[in-house]
Structure 1
């Protein structure tokens, strides 16, 4: 407003104008303060080190190795030193054998058929037969009973009942190719046609998987029962896309058994439902809250995750507390790798020394805010750091869970998830069977065959 317009206003109108302008000034002042704080926050983040697989939980696939520039004036690297040659070993159980006798000498062409001969060279010739599906046409005959005048029909032969025309080996192959090799339905149908000469629709493939749900669910329940009979459990989870929602794939495992679950939640309710009233003596996991507090005796946190977090604090500039802690955690992991060669008394001594050294480190004063925060974290979890030292059944890291989930992450990247809930839950049951079979030295295809036949997976003798 100009001076003339202001002078022409009455007193009440002028007061309203002044109040409205004061409110606008206050709102703009508040906005400036918020933006200033936001700019300061973003400027502070500019000084933080980047998140890498070495100092965080960033997957290795998202890390970038720096290019190595050749030294100025350096010559091309010399080739590696040659190693002794190797050859393919002979098959222990060849399908057939052919003993070929010489008929003539390759030097002078003289006949040598009657000369005594001995084995000079043996090698394998490997070939696969042509893939042709074995199709059996079953015709059930019948007629009219002369006794009761009712119609009768022959009983179908075993394993060839009416219904699905696909036999157990073919169904096992479909499950294997779909869930172990990640082959999509369209490509799988084309593979069956090109490789086996079998025309099969995508709908028929889905029906094969649908019919396998009960068999894999029963096998998974057996694996879960064995898992619950132990004293140690390990767990982890990863994201999964089901339909148009984000779900989570959980794994619970130890030694020779592993159970996967697909659930729409990442919370403690999943673990509570899986465990029921059971509580293992020891639990190994990362520091995610939903996986903590389930052990009857003690939790062991993953030291690999913690070492990466400490490394990030080091990258931020902490130079007192973090380096000492990083060295201590690395020392603890090295002791864990040597446990099988150490006596129980030696392990107890090492555990006492680790705890004493941790006491000394906790008395240090961090020089950086990130170090102070890390020290508070260690105070909360310190009793979960070195449980594994004196208990040989407990690993120091959650690497076993990461390895169990790795094929699932690969499958997720290939397929982008699942369209239906039943497909996701079937995948979890199949992964339970395949991962358990791997730990029990059973091939994946053989484990699928056993499951479809209703046979429990052989458990290793204790």
Structure 2
């Protein structure tokens, strides 16, 4: 104070001006720091939200739950003990080896002790006391490639016409080639088990003694796809006759690694339309043009599509369809909502009511009923509507910018506005409450991507998924996929039977 008191008026004014300028600069710096801090806080919140995503509260696959830093899903609440023991339940089908009768055996050997006795006498001269032990062994023969030459003769009829013997089934136009069995194994390993091309060549060499090239391993894809085209068309047609169809799509790395003009990423989308008996894939993008090429555009009016609320599924360009919104996605979103609003009970109540309705529908379906009993449905509806009302009241703040808040609000508004589309499965038990069937059919494509990476040739990628759709359908009908592939290479195309009404 003594220093300031000694200053003149002019000096005090100059000092105040300097301090005012410094305060202005510091205020600007503080404002910039605060803005940066808020940006970093928002980014940190977003990153924490992303790290907290797992298979329990989002659509992430369970394989991502073990990634470094990832928050594992919460353990599900254990249900009341059912009293059942662990392992196989009584009445469930088993696959244990059984003892075969004499007429079912392929070979029967009589085995006797060999060598000398301790007394020096050869056991070949010993007295036979009969069978004291029986043992049956199921074994496969060692596989070794065999080379067969086929000489096609020409003969002249007495009328003068010449006839030439046809080549064996599955033979191509070359002089030397691998047969249909080896081609079927190559396609099977590529398409069903996603083994990379060079490893398929190694496996076939180790198992058969043949030495196929990488070019041979890849070449049967196109031939198999052409042979199975009629089966693929039949599957598509049969799906269009179904009452309820599960649909989904997933990104797939396919084609050139450089993004096309106007695109951020070089990827396509694999679409699936399926039932519990049929599977059909389509490779394209996420545009309406691709959606109009899917099976959904050919469904009968009034058919039900089960999907994940992606907006294109609701387009009228796909026809006059009813919708069942996938409740597996909803339950995962509600798990995320419960983490965002830990002090609120409505997310848990809404999830519990949905699970109870699904459980009751499964029980009614097991009993052979066509629809859920009205009293059960009414009871569940009261609880659902109450939880939705409470949730809408709790999330009406417009200033809540936390990651996940807007998604939760949109879910509740969808429940309010599209209640019938969430609960259509309760009106007809032929409708599944989730699109899990579609997710199961699509999941292997992500496994293939993780193992083999990008599919650089879009045409061969389409061949792969045409074949995979046929083989998935065959497995659903308990038909060996290798049998289907071998038939494709020998001119015998398998066709799926029509579903019974």
- The answer for the alignment partner of 1:284 in structure 2 is 306
- The answer for the alignment partner of 2:385 in structure 1 is 359
- The answer for the alignment partner of 2:375 in structure 1 is 349
1:88, 1:297 → 2: CA distance? 46
Structure 2 unaligned runs (5+)?
1-27, 73-84, 89-93, 257-265, 398-404
1:132, 1:228 → 2: CA distance? 45
- The answer for the alignment partner of 1:455 in structure 2 is 493
- The answer for the alignment partner of 1:314 in structure 2 is 338
1:34, 1:166 → 2: CA distance? 69
1:124, 1:187 → 2: CA distance? 34
- The answer for the alignment partner of 1:15 in structure 2 is none
Describe the shift of the 1:380–1:156 C-alpha distance in structure 2 as closer, same or farther (beyond 3 A): same
Assess if the C-alpha contact under 8 Å between 2:184 and 2:486 holds in 1: yes
1:434, 1:330 → 2: CA distance? 33
Residue 472 (structure 2) aligned to one of 428, 435, 448: 435
Residue 325 (structure 1) aligned to one of 334, 338, 350: 350
2:232, 2:99 → 1: CA distance? 35
TM-superposed deviation, 1:366 = 3.5
- The answer for the alignment partner of 1:243 in structure 2 is 255
Assess if the C-alpha contact under 8 Å between 1:440 and 1:460 holds in 2: no
Assess if the C-alpha contact under 8 Å between 2:58 and 2:336 holds in 1: yes
| Correspondence 1:97 to 2:108 | yes
Describe the shift of the 1:66–1:382 C-alpha distance in structure 2 as closer, same or farther (beyond 3 A): closer
1:269, 1:91 → 2: CA distance? 58
2:423, 2:163 → 1: CA distance? 71
| Correspondence 1:206 to 2:206 | no
1:295, 1:147 → 2: CA distance? 62
Structure 1 unaligned runs (5+)?
1-26, 68-80
Residue 163 (structure 1) aligned to one of 173, 186, 206: 173
TM-superposed deviation, 1:47 = 7.2
Aligned pairs for 1:99-178 within 5 A? 99=110, 112-113=127-128, 117=130, 121-140=133-152, 154-159=164-169, 161=171, 163-164=173-174, 165-178=177-190
Moved more, 267-276 or 291-300: 291-300
2:218, 2:133 → 1: CA distance? 50
Moved more, 136-145 or 370-379: 136-145
- The answer for the alignment partner of 2:19 in structure 1 is none
Assess if the C-alpha contact under 8 Å between 2:154 and 2:165 holds in 1: no
Describe the shift of the 1:129–1:389 C-alpha distance in structure 2 as closer, same or farther (beyond 3 A): same
1:219, 1:46 → 2: CA distance? 47
User: Which SS does the other structure have where 1:183 is aligned?
Assistant: coil
TM-superposed deviation, 1:420 = 0.6
TM-superposed deviation, 1:286 = 0.9
TM-superposed deviation, 1:83 = 9.8
| Correspondence 1:334 to 2:342 | no
Count how many residue pairs are aligned between Structure 1 and Structure 2. Answer: 415
TM-superposed deviation, 1:91 = 6.0
TM-score (norm 1): 0.77
Assess if the C-alpha contact under 8 Å between 2:372 and 2:426 holds in 1: no
Cα deviation 1:164-207 (Å, max 9, x = unaligned) = 42222222111112212222222222333332222322222233
Residue 59 (structure 1) aligned to one of 58, 61, 68: 61
TM-superposed deviation, 1:305 = 0.8
Describe the shift of the 1:434–1:143 C-alpha distance in structure 2 as closer, same or farther (beyond 3 A): closer
Assess if the C-alpha contact under 8 Å between 2:248 and 2:271 holds in 1: yes
1:286, 1:53 → 2: CA distance? 15
1:192, 1:345 → 2: CA distance? 51
Aligned pairs for 1:45-84 within 5 A? 45=46, 48=49, 50-64=52-66
Assess if the C-alpha contact under 8 Å between 2:225 and 2:464 holds in 1: no
User: RMSD value over aligned CA atoms?
Assistant: 4.0
TM-superposed deviation, 1:344 = 5.0
- The answer for the alignment partner of 2:3 in structure 1 is none
Aligned pairs for 1:291-306 within 5 A? 291-293=313-315, 294=318, 296=320, 298-306=322-330
TM-superposed deviation, 1:256 = 0.9
TM-score (norm 2): 0.71
Assess if the C-alpha contact under 8 Å between 1:284 and 1:395 holds in 2: yes
